[in-house]
Structures are given as C-alpha cells and as structure tokens.
Chains A and B, each alone.
Chain A
Amino acid sequence: MHDNRWRKTLPLVAGAAALALALAGCTPGGSPSGGDRPLRMWSGSMTPITNNFNPFAVDTATHMTFGAIYEPLFFFNQLSDDAPVGMLGDSYEFNEDGTVLTVTIKPDLKWSDGEALTAEDVAFSLGYGSNLDPDMVSVEATDGTTVVVTYSSPKFTATSLILGSTWIIPKHIWSEIDDYMTETNPKPVGSGPYTLKSFTDAAYTLEANPLFRDGAPAITEVQDIGIDSNQSSEDLLKTGKLDWVGQFIANPDGVTSNGRISTMNQQQDPTVIMTCADASMGCAGAQTDPAVRQALNVAIDRGAISSKAFAGLSGEASPSFALLPRDEKWLSDPSLAVSPQEPDAATAEGILEAAGYTKGNDGFYGKDGTAIELDLFSPDGWTDYNDAAKLISAQAAKAGIRVNARTVSEAEYWTPISTGEFQLALYGITQSLVADPFSNYDRYFTTTATAKVGEEPTKGQNYARYTNPAVDEAVKQAGATQDEAIKKDAYAIVQTEIARDLPYIPVVLNASQSFFNTADFTGWPTEDDLYAAPLPYLSTASAVILTHLRPVEK
C-alpha cells in the first residue's frame, strides 16, 4: 500500500517541478516603453530602506545621497588614470611640499533650494564633522570661488579623499545642525543633478534638479528600489521592471539574451586570504611563519577557484597589489604582475622542507612535533567565498598543509578580524580609487594602520597585523612626494617586500557585474569609453552615469 501510494503521487509532483524549471528557462517578452518613465535601479539597498539622507552617515544613509544629491569637488574615475573630472571644482593645486591645497570652484553654482553655492560652503564642509582632518591647520575662502586649505603634513596621497569623497554641504543649513551623527536630513538640499521627490521604505524617487549647473539631466526621474535577494532583482531585470543593477549573475546570457539588457564586468577588488601575520603583534598559529604563507601561496589552484567558486568571472590577482593594466607604470617587476594560476605542490613542499618542516605519517607537514593546522573562515552565505575556502582547504591538503575551512555568521566574522584573533580569513580588499596603488599600501600594509592583537586599528585597515620597517619607510617616502621616479623606487621596495612576506595571499580579483537597459536608455559607458564604472552602488560614479544618460527616442 505504502509503495503504491508513492508511485502515484511522485511523478505528478516531479512533473510539475520539471515543467516549472523548463518554463523558467525561456525568456519573456513585453517591455514597458522608455521615454517619460523613471529609470529604475537597484543600488543594493535592502528593505526597509532607512529614511536617512545625511552624507555623514556613510553606512546607513540612502545610496543616492552620495553623488546624486550631494557632490564632491571632483570625480575620480577608478577605471582609468585620467585626470579627475571637475564636479563643483574647476581646478586644484598643491604647493611644493603638499601642505597647502588651493581649490577653485565653478562660478554661479546654486543649491537645490536656490541659494548660491560659494567657496564659503566648501570651506565650511572641509572643516565640518567627520570631514575635519586632524592635520588641518586652517581653511579659508579667499574669494567667492577659491578655497585655500593648509595642513601640517603633506596631503598628496589624500587628494582623492579630500577632493573626491568629501561631500560638499550647504553652510546655511548645516551650521544650524547640532549633531551631525544623529541627523537624518529627510529633506536634503544638495548641489547634485537630482533632488528627493518621495521616500518610502520600499523605494524612493529622485527628480531632476532644475538648478543643476549643467541644466536638469535628461532622465527626469530615478527610482531606487529596495530588494532583499539577488534572485528577485534578476527576475525584475528579465521582466523589464528594472533598468540598472550591479550584482553577481552566474549566467549573464539568461538576462541579456532578449537584447534589451547589456552587461559589463569590471574586475577590481582583490579577494585575499588574510593572515594574522606577525607573531610580534600577538598573532598565534603556523601562518605567522612566512614560509607557511609562501607555501600556501603556491599550493592553491587559482584557476580552479576562479572557475568553480567565482563562475569564471573573476580576474587574476597580482601580488604587487597594483591594479593591472590601470597601474601598469607603477609595477616594478613584471614577475609580480600575476599570482601563480596553477598549483605547484612540489614547490610548496620544498619551501616547507627548507624551513624545517617535516611530513608526518598522515601526509601533513609539521615542525617540532606540532602539525600545521590552520583555521580559515568566511561569512556564512557569501557563497563564492565559502566555496573558495573549501577549494583552498582541499588544494592545500594536496601540498601537505592542513587548512580547515569553516563559515561563521557575519557578526562573528568582523569581530575577530578587527581584534586580530584569527589565523586565516577570506577577505575582500578595496582597490585604490585612483590609478596609484598608494592607498592599498598605506591602508593595508603599514604599521600605523595596524594594532596589536586584542586592539583595533584606529587608522587604516591592516587587520593582518603586518609590520615591516622597510615598507613603512617606503610608503612614507612615496606619500611625501609627487616625483614619479622617487615614488616608483619606493613602490619597488614595497612590492618586493609584500610579495615575499604575503600577509595577504592574493586569490582572485572580484568580478563586479553590471546590467543596464540599453533599449530604453542610451549613453551608458562602453568598453571604448569607460567614463565611469557602471556599477549603481558606487557613489559619485553612479550619478555621473545618470547625467550621461538619455531616453531612447522611439
């Protein structure tokens, strides 16, 4: 009786599921017309969206606050080594030693409430709230369009920070705000191409700012939608409900095959195995021995990791931590261009044996009776990282290195990383935003950017606890000059040191896929004209793209 029952019901249900899957494979038709309708984008916000347009709430404010409503002085295109494009700013100049910065802004600028935007506002913004640099000595608007900022130390390397991601705010409004941290700024007054039209916790809409310096943008309305899962956004894209997203889609052809949606893939941010590298900082474990890190570096099969864990969309990482080909001129040694893509267990074993490790009966290396056993963790649900960690564990085992991969909740991920109580973590490094790897070196590799285990770095993100006086000295040198030859020499030292010590073992360059509607909107970046990265979640770049777009005439 029991068996009989199953025979009857199972095929029915299985049939329904098969039908559903078969149907899901096809693509639907039907497209709402372009023209007057709003452009709909997903900048990565999840519902409920918080009603916060405070540009100082970098973590919780709505995405469009940054670039579309408030603007920086200049736009630094992270895809090219071209000079920055003026937004509010017209030109800038450092003095000889990099301590005095003179910025000229464009004339006749207006805030979206009609008030004039002058150098006073810029000077106010540079000295306000978290924009205030402790090294700043004075900031002064010398006339209506000129601001002079004086610092106590050279600021060449902070150029993109000061000019490219300091949001200029209206003095007549913010001078009356007491606590810039708790302000939610529900009626933002900015200088950008758009102003807020309506807000709900499911989506918010911006409309063209008629007072924008270049005239109101051609796309008159933009709606940013809160979506909780990648699958939903992919479905919305397929059904023509969304026009612009930046997310991982393993099979991009399924979305682009209807000819309405185009895609691009930028490979920028390195995924690394971050190690707690320095025993003198309090790190514990076998990974504090550079030989173990070097062995791991050659033992892993980056090709397999890229194709299996990252769907073949990721790029090849460089141990120099320069982004190639963008930063080509800063690469000191061509052999540091790419990390090995094939595994080499023999070399790994050679490195370990030279360092005094011996293989135990179980096939794993150890020293003085203790086997190497490393703990590698990644946040649960970051499936590409989870898969990569499993692959790394298996590949390391082939070279006799025991790496145990495990997943943890996001909370359990960030806490040990910030306090240094970990051995190996899969980690994403943020690529420098300008065509110069300086900020990578300064933020992730210097002693000033780290802290002892148990404490958190207060400046920079050297969570690997890496310290190397040679690197510190070279970074300091490079930061104090605009002379390319001196910089190159300094970078050569840094690159050699970090490629040997490997506090961060490069794995891949993350794929950043973007999908955009080219049937209804035109003016998107192309491979030939990458005027900005077409990723809707990037600040400023997304606003630059919005101002370049036009509805397709039909």
Chain B
Amino acid sequence: MKFWMRRIAFYIITLWAAISLNFLLPRLLPGDPAAIMLGKLRRANGGRPLSEETIKAITSILGAEKGSTLWDQYLAYWGRLLHGDLGVSSTRYPAPVGELIAAALPWTVTLVGAATIISFVLGIIAGAWVGWFRGTWVDQLVPITTFLQSIPYFWLALVLVAVFSVQLGLLPIIGGYDVFEFPAGPEWTPAFFASAFVHALLPAATIVISSVGGWLLGMRNMMVQTMSEDYVLTAEAKGLRPSRIRTAYAARNASIPSLAGFGIALGFVVAGSIVTEQVFSYPGLGKLMIQSVQGLDYALMQGVFLVITLTVLAANFLIDLLYGFIDPRVRRDG
C-alpha cells in the first residue's frame, strides 16, 4: 500500500510541476502576440488605419497580461484551468482552444495510436523471429528496417504519395476523409468510415515504416540475450517444442523492456506526428502545436502542451501499475 501511496504523491507533484512549466515556457519565447496580431491586421487591412478601438480590443485580449505580475498571471492561469477554461486562440481568433483540441484529438489518437500499436506488434513479432534465427539470412531485416527508419520522414512520405496517390491513383493525397465526397463533414455512415480508413493508410504506413526498426532491433537483441539464459537451455533439455520455447520462454521474457518503451511511446501518441499531419494535411494535434508556436498563440500552445503532459503522465502511471503486477521486484515495500 505504501508503494502506491508514494507513487501517487509523486505523480501529483509531477503534475503540478508540469502544469507550472507549461505556464512558464511560452512566456520565455521571444515576441509579443498582440504585436504580431496587430501587424497581421495592418497588413491584411490594406493600409486602412486601425482604429483605437480595435487596437485596444486586441491588446486587452492578447496583451492584457503585460501589466500584471507573473505571480498574478500564474494564479489567474490556475483559476481558469480549474474551471476547464483553456482560453481563446489568437491565431484562430475567436475560436476557443478547448474546441480546437477536441476536434483534433480523435484523429491524432486514432491514427498515431493505431500506427504505434501496429509498429510495436510488428516489431516485437519480427524481432522475436529474427532473434530466434540469429545468424541466418533473416538478420538482414535489422539493417533494412534501421535504414528505413533513417530515411527522412517527409521524404519517405513524398515518395509514397508520388507513387501510390499521384501515379497509381490508389490512395488519397490529403485529409482525414474525402472532402470532395463528404463536403458536409464527418457522418456516421459506413461509407465515411471506409473513406477515413483509406485516408489513414498512407500516413499510418509511413509512421510504421519509419518506426518499426527500433522495436525490431530492441526485441531481437533482448531475444538473443534471453536465449542464452539457463531456463531456455533447461526447456530445450526437457525436449519442449522449439515453437513453445520461442514464444512462451524466450519471447515472453524478452518483451518486458520493450513494453516499458511502449508505454512511453503511447504517452507521446497525442503529441501527434507533426510531419505526418503537415505532409498529408491530416487533422491533428501536432499541427495545432506547430501553428501555435509559430503564431505565438499562448493559449493554444498551453492547451496542447497540457493535453500532452496529462497523457504522458497517465500513460506512465498505467505502465507503473502494470509493471508492479508483471514484475514483483518493483513493488517491494521497503
């Protein structure tokens, strides 16, 4: 019990630190969002002088915090956060940050989440296999996959689009669904889900291709190490079927370190894949993050970072719990 209490206390402190950092970091960036927005308005306005009223309205929304102390801003930040108010985006003014995140989150979680799981499962299965048949031709899979991983992601994506979408016309080029077929937006029909699935294929494939190598390499090496353990030798001496030794004895134990890595990878799923979303114009959080950083949109930045922080912490917490069950050594009180 004492172990769990300690873990929970640790997470509460981490949460507080993360949220406070989240408040502080955007303020360390150079530039003033009100100045940026006023500048944009001036250029967009085609020379029309901005009225005093407009300037006041903008600075009171985006630059109001200028006069108050950092501490007051910090308290106000917590106050709003506890009310569930993430503020108003300045780059997409006057859209509320909460709505933007809510619209982007399902896409990111589905696409990047599915791709991460596929990549992990593929990597573990193939890694176990390659490890088992170490020294034979299947070992070639290791350099091939690590090579694929080292290809710049956007280049890989461009080549895949050029071949499968532009040349062969098999797969769509952009979007989370067919905006030409469904101009009114997402609907709960099988046709829509089919469209969304087809649109996710290329982005997901790119993520898998460029990340499977890491899982495979890690798993293969653990597998090789596990196979030299005494219990594997014992199992072989007992005359167990090789396939049983491979899965139940070697692979099962070899996958434990990868599982920890998987937990962390899952936590980062919500951060999205910035480049994927950019190249495929795929809806998602990563894009919101980069746009908010570029446009110095503090509210959006903080909102996105908050969601990412919370999921990483939650994923870690889950893995902590899981680990406690799988491996008794970690939860020993003392």
Contacts and interface: CB of A to CB of B under 8 A. Distances in A.
Interface of A: 5-6, 8-9, 12-13, 17, 19-21, 23-24, 26, 28, 30, 38, 40, 46-48, 50-52, 57-60, 130, 132-134, 161, 165, 181-182, 184, 197-205, 223, 225-229, 231-232, 235-236, 238-239, 241, 409-412, 414-415, 417-419, 430, 433, 439, 442-443, 456, 458-461
Contacts of A21: 159, 162
B308 interface: no
Contacts of A241: 173, 180
B31 interface: yes
A229 B279 CA distance: 6
A458 B55 contact: yes
A301 to B, nearest CB: 29
A130 B54 contact: yes
Nearest to A10: B147
B48 interface: yes
Contacts of B67: none
B159 A17 contact: yes
Given A9-B147, A411-B31, A202 B161 contact: no
B183 A456 contact: no
B22 interface: no
5 contacts: A13-B147, A165-B48, A201-B185, A411-B36, A411-B296
Contact of A223 (B174, B180, B295): B180
Would you list the 4 A-B pairs with minimal beta carbon distance, nearest first? A200-B185, A24-B162, A415-B31, A203-B179
Contacts of A225: 179
A19 B294 CA distance: 36
A229 B94 CA distance: 24
Nearest to A201: B103
Interface string B269-300: 00000000111110100011001011110000
B92 interface: yes
Contact of A205 (B95, B143, B159, B183): B183
Given A40-B180, A200-B179, A24 B39 contact: no
Contacts of B45: 58, 130
B50 interface: yes
B54 A232 contact: no
A418 B54 contact: no
Contact of A227 (B95, B176, B281): B281
Nearest to B185: A200
Given A59-B40, A235-B161, A458 B50 contact: yes
Nearest to B52: A134
B122 interface: no
A202 B283 contact: yes
Contacts of B185: 198-202
Contacts of B148: 13
A415 B48 contact: no
Given A235-B173, A414-B36, 7 more contacts: A23-B163, A28-B166, A50-B92, A59-B93, A197-B183, A414-B40, A456-B38
A232 B29 contact: no
Most central of B40, B93, B174 by chain A CB within 10 Å = B174
Contacts of A26: 167
Contacts of B39: 414, 417-418, 456
Interface of B: 29-32, 35-55, 57-58, 91-95, 100, 103-104, 139-140, 143-144, 147-148, 158-163, 165-167, 169, 173-177, 179-180, 183-186, 277-281, 283, 287-288, 291, 293-296
Q: Among the interface residues B30, B160, B277, which one has the most CB atoms of the partner chain A within 10 A?
A: B30
Nearest to B144: A9
Contacts of B186: 200
B291 A46 contact: yes
A231 B94 contact: no
A227 B174 contact: yes
Contacts of B31: 411-412, 414-415
A82 B42 CA distance: 27
B283 A201 contact: yes
A232 B279 contact: yes
Contacts of A9: 140, 143-144, 147
B283 A130 contact: no
A430 B184 CA distance: 36
Nearest to A442: B47
Contact of B35 (A47, A204, A409, A456): A456
Nearest to B88: A182
A24 B55 CA distance: 49
Task: Determine which residue in B173, B279, B280, B283 has the highest number of CB atoms from chain A within 10 A of its CB, and name it.
Answer: B173
A346 B55 CA distance: 48
A26 B51 CA distance: 53
A443 B48 CA distance: 10
A226 B167 contact: no
B179 A461 contact: no
